[in-house]
Amino acid sequence: MNNKEIRVRFAPSPTGYLHIGGLRTALYNYLFAKNQKGKFILRIEDTDRNRYVEGAVDNLISTLNWAGLQADEGPKSGGDYGPYLQSERLDIYNEHIKKLIDNKKAYYCFCTQERLTELRKRQKEEGLQTKYDKHCLSLSKEEIDQKLNDNTPYVIRLNIEPNNEISFNDIIRGEVTFNTGIIDDQVLIKSDGFPTYHFANVVDDHLMKITHVIRGEEWISSTPKHVLLYDYFNWERPLFAHLPLLLNPDKSKLSKRQGDVAVEDYMGKGYLKGALINFIALLGWNAGDDKEFYTMDELINAFSLERVNKAGAVFNLEKLDWLNAEHLRNTPNGEILIMLKNEISKSKYSSFECTDEYLLLIIEAMKERVSFVKEYIEKCPYFFEPPTEYDEKVVKKRWKEDSHDLLKIFSQRIEQLVNPTKEDYEKTLKNFCEEKEIGLGKLIHPLRLALSGVGIGPGIFDLIFILGKEESLKRIDKALEQIK
φ/ψ region of 468 (left if φ > 0, alpha if ψ in -120 to 50, else beta) reads: left
φ/ψ region of 196 (left if φ > 0, alpha if ψ in -120 to 50, else beta) reads: beta
Of 14, 19, 12, which is closest to residue 253 (Cα–Cα)?
Answer: 19
Helix ranges (H only) for 347-468 are 356-366, 375-378, 392-398, 403-415, 422-436, 441-452, 460-467
* Residues forming beta bridges with residue 243, ordered by sequence position: 216
Residue 285, SS3? strand
| Contact of 420 with 469, CB cutoff 8 Å | yes
Beta strand pairing status for 39-42 and 7-10? parallel
In whole angstroms, what is the distance from residue 453 CA to residue 90 CA? 66
| Contact of 88 with 43, CB cutoff 8 Å | no
DSSP 8-state assignment for residue 161 = P
Q: To which H or E segment does residue 212 belong?
A: strand 212-216
> Which residues contact residue 13 at a Cβ distance below 8 angstroms, ignoring those fewer than 6 apart?
44, 45, 46, 48, 51, 197
Active site residues per annotation = 256
Cα separations (Å) of 383 from 17, 206, 353, 452? 37, 59, 11, 8
Burial class (CB in 10 A: 0-12, 13-18, 19+), 359: buried
